[in-house]
Every structure is written in structure tokens, then in C-alpha cells.
Chain A
Amino acid sequence: MDAYLIPAVDGVAYGLLLFVVAAGLTLAFGVGDVLNLAHGTLFAFGAYAAAKVSDGSWGSLALAVLIGTATAAAGGALLSVLLVPLAGRGHLAQALLTFGVALVVGDLLVTVFGPDELPITVPASLDRPVDIAGHSYPGYRLAFIGVAALIAVALYVVVARTRAGSLVRATVDDRDMVATLGVDPFKVRTGVLAVGGALAGLAGALGAPIIGPGPRVADLVLLLSLVVVVLGGMGSIGGALIAAIAVGEIQTVGVTAQPTLAPFLMFGAMAVVLALRAGGLLKSRRVAT
């Protein structure tokens, strides 16, 4: 059991990272009504920012986080503008456009940053092992768990306790809410795609030492956050957190212990959850699409 302690802690870090990414995806999907298949690419913006800007000083890390978050937010907003000509064309056309954009931008990222995974430099004071229960553990990851947990708590507080959050929850429950508010739907969509992008970029910049920038990162992050959304359901932030940690553990403990079995576990978890919840996400979407 002891051999799995380190992967298990890694799984928590991985899971929290996925939670922040998936929260952005859910926001765009639940409120903006857009399945953003370029979400993983926005994560890559943050990860590449960390690889290129962060040089071991705290200031450069802060700058990387700022750049990663800002470019990903801008990317999200730009997607919303690109969707304008598709007004009235349905959700599928929108999803396919984001998919095409993801392919194009993913290729451009490889052209600019090269086909290899880039190494990440973290601040020196975090770049050393700390001791947990007799095991040495990378300091950065421990710090990341703390920061990501803070972000998760902040997200929870915003969604559960603020007026904006209650609007978000109401809209996820009932899409027509947006129309009754009298707010310009374009502004709502742009706003949620930008905020969703910002969350992906933030996660990418902070989480680059965990899921590093490379040609496969966008696909991987998109896949895992889709699984988290499917497992966690819509609108339930607690469900998404549990799902994210579970997927994180499968990706770490699972892959360490049973590399072949890990993807099957993911299949199995999705099958079980979808079967148990014949309503929930699916039922509400059936009406919406």
C-alpha cells in the first residue's frame, strides 16, 4: 500500500488541476451553451506560458500565470466572436467550429514551440523535495495542491454564495433563464467563454509541472475534462470535484499499478455513472438540444 502513497498524493494534485479545467468547460457548456472542444488548447496556452516565461523566480512565475490566464481568456472571448456567424445554426455547428479551431491552433502551437514536451522551471524555493510520512515529495506539487485547493474553494464560494453564482446555477438548471434576464446572450457567451478560458489558462500555467506542455497536452486535457464533466454531471460542483479527484487517481495510482486497466476504469466509471443517472445531465440536455 505504501508504494502507492506518492502516486495517491499526485492523484490529488492531478485531480484538483482537472477540477479547475473542467469547471471552465462546464461554465461554458452549462451557461454559455457551447461545447468548447478547444478548451484543452486554452489549457496549453497557460502551460506554454509557464514553460517560456517562468525562469525560477517568483516574479516570472507570476508573470507566466498572468500571461497564460490572459491569453486563454482572450482565446475564449475570440471563440465567442467566431461563433457569431453561426447564430441560429444549433449547438452541433458551434461545437464543430471550436473543434476546427482546436486543430488549427494546436498545429500552430507545435510549429511555434516544437514537437517536444518542454521542461518547466519552478521557483527554487519550491524546487526541492519535502518529507511526507517518510517519503520525499516534490515541493512544487505540494504547494500546487494548496493553491489549487484554494482555487477550488474560491470557485465553490463564488458559485454557492454570490449573486453571480446563483445566476450561474439557475441558468445551468434552466437555459431559458438567460433570455428572461434581458441580458445580451452574446455578452453572456463571451463572458463565460472568457472566464472558462481563464480557468483553463490558469490551470495550465500553474499545473504545467504536472501536465506539461507538448503536442498531446490539448487532447489529453480535453479528454480528461470531458470525462470529468460526464462523471460529475452539470451544475453540481461537488460532483465535479469528486469526479476530478477520481480521474486524477486513475491517471496516477491506476496508471502506476495497472497501466492497461486504467483506461478501462475510466470507461467503467462513465458507464456506471451514466447508467445510474438516466436523468440528470442527459435528460436536461435532451430537452435542450
Chain B
Amino acid sequence: MNRLSLSEHGPSVLVAALSAAFGVSVLQFVGVISQALTADRVTGNSGTVAIFLGIVALVFIVIAVYVGAIVTANTFSTIIAGRTRTIALLRLIGSSARTQRRAVAREGLAVGIAGTLIGALVGTGVTAATLAVGVAAGFIPGGVSFSLVSPVLILPMVAVVLTTWIASWVGSRRVLVVSPMEATGAAHEQSRAEASASKARTAVAIALFVVGTVVLVVAVIVGLVNPLAVLIGVVGGLLSFTGLVVGAHLVMPVALRFVGRLFGDSAPARLAAENAVRYPERSSRTTIGLVIGITLVTMFAVALQSYQNLLTAARDANPEYYEGVDEAFATTLVVFSILMGFSALIAAVGMVNNLSLSVLQRTRELGLLRALGFTGRQVRGMIIAESAQLTAASVLVGLVLGVFYGWAGAQSLFGSLNGSPGFVAPDLPLPFLAGVVVLAAALTLVASVGPSRRATRVTPVAALALD
């Protein structure tokens, strides 16, 4: 059982590879841009631009690696839940819980190394290919010979290996509470210990959120007179958002229940709603990655849109100040959406993986439902509804948070702009919203294809014969 199984760890390798590829590729692009700037002396203050780019890149990479770590921790804890019987058996014949957990962490380290190496190669490939296309198309000056390999690339790689390793350690916490007795008894519903979060954690989460929100409100008000208020806003935003992520177990089940109610009252829909919150801790972790991704993307879309609205209002007041500033917006939005969207992609991989693992662990129950009269179509409907609920709840929470943070950011930065009306209402660009909805629908379907096929293929007899 200590051997790496690709079907179990494939998704974690993929997540590590995506994070590493992203980190390596973004740094390589930053390198290429600063090399191009250095070659082109006209730009002058290229040093400042390079440092600024470096900081932005760092922020994006940290976010992607962080989301990847949450996803991996969650995947590992789901895998452990499915292995309870095996672990209990090994405990029964004398293996200590700590040995067991260390074995899981070793798997995590191997997953991290494998994923990072694959990711670094793929990321470098993507950069090289983009560069070749860019030079051919004339976007990038062709005279300079760019070097893609640089010592700084080690940083994201090491970060991904370490976070994957730590994530596997955190995710394998449940190994410690598996009792050897669980190997002997009949298969029971997993203990709900997983569901209970400590009071201290809840208190920290609430404190962070409240303080962060207050700071953010202060930033918005100060922003009316001074653009530096955005720095206060960043602190407030980080605090309150960290509070939300730490307290995901308080927020997400509520959102999931709310969305679940929208799916109607049929037996498959109600069971799906119950399944989505069966392990509140697990579903919170499954969805929070996606929430982070959607929040970030939305935040930038709203901030840019609000900025544009402020500018428009300001320009109407004194037209001579603002000429030709519109053009950059569309490009900036697209680039930032792609960079931010990458975290959402990593989170989506985690969601797909978690849904399929949890369906796999529910085989027995699906067999019971089939025996009692669930048709194949009803089972499929139930799994699609569950997938839709997870996605819809994440998107909903992400949109609400993103709109708020984006608006607060724009307001604190540009509220004091010459000719600005003071406050503008938050504005969500419609094409952006449509894009998010379409992608969410696609994710729902993609996430449910594998699990629902597997679930309907199981015959009731085979499922019930499982022990």
C-alpha cells in the first residue's frame, strides 16, 4: 500500500505539475521581458519595470502554489478516508500510526517531485513555443538570444515540492485516529470526527474577517482623499480573505445548503444536497480553492471596470486630463484573467478529483440505492446535481467576494481621482460574468462525467457484495 498508485495520485501529480509549470513559465516570461527591455535601451527605467514585474509574478505564483497545496491536502485526506480499512489492518498487525503517516508523507514527497519535474519541463516547453511564435509574429524582438534557464526557477520548483509534501502531511492527519478495530468490524459510515473543526480556528477566522473588513472599510473612506489608501486596503483584504479561507467550514456549508435548496425536492436532488454537505470539512476544502480562484478573477474584473467607470466620470468632468487611456483596459483584463484563472484551473482539477474519489468511496451506498429503486438516470442526475452544487456555491461565493474586494480596491485607489464623483457602484462586466457562468457549467459537466459513468456501471449486486 506504500507503492504509488497512479489512479490515486495522478490528480495530485497533475496539480503539482500545473503549479510548477505555471511558476516556471511565468518567471521565464518575466525574464524574457526584462531581457527585451534591457536590449531596448529606449525604455530607460527598465530596472524598475523588471522589479515591478517580478513582484506581480511572485504574487501570482504564491497564489497558484497556495491553491495547489489546499487541493493536494484535500485530495490526500480523501484518499486516506478511503484507505481506512487497510490502515486499520496494518495497525492491527502492529504498525504504529506514526509510521503509517510517515509513509503517506513519503508518497506526498514523491508526488511533489514527480509533478514538479514534469511541470518544469512542460512550462519551459510552453515558454519556448510562445517565444518562437512571438518572434515569428514580430511581437518580440528577434535579435536577442533569450536564456530560459535561470537559477531563480529553482524557487517555484522547491516551493511546489515542499508544499505538496506538507499538504500530504496535513491531509494525512486522519491516519492518527484510525483504530485497529476498524479492520474487524463491518464497514460503517466513516466517523464524523473529520467534520469537527476546533473552536480556536473558528475564533481566529472570525477575528481575521471582522478586523480585515473594518480595515477595508477604512481604506475605502480614506481612499476618497488619498490614493495610498489602497495599501491599507491590501492589508484589510488579505486579513479578511484569510479569515474566510480559514473559516471556510463556516461559510461553504451554508452556501452549499442554500444552493442545494434551489435544485428542487426530488429524491435525487435532495440526496445530492445532503451528499454535498455530508463531510462539511471536506466539501469546504473542495470548494475553497475554486472560491479563491473565482474571487481573484472577479476582483480584477470589477476593479478594472470600476476604475474605468471612475475614469469616465472624471473625464466627463475635465476632458483635457484624460485622453487615450481606454485602450490598455481590455488587454490588462485578459492577461490578468488568464494569470488569475490559472489558480481556478488548479482548483477545478481538485474538485473533479474529489468528486470522483467520494463517489468511489460511496459504491456500497449507490448499490443500495439501485436495489431500492434508483434508476441509472436518477443516479446520474444525483451526481450531476452534486457537482453543480459544488460549482455553483463556489462561483456564487467567489463572485460576491470578488465584487466586494474589487470595488473596495478600485474605490480606495481611485476615489480621490481629480473629478471623480466620490463613490461609484460596483460594476460587474457582463461578458466576464457570462464567461464565468459558461466555464462553471462546463466544469460541472466535466467533473461529473467520470464519476457518474462509474456509478451507473456498478451493478447493485457487485456494490452490495463489497465489504
Asked whether A and B interact, the reply is no
- A residues lining the B interface (CB < 8 Å): none
- B residues lining the A interface (CB < 8 Å): none
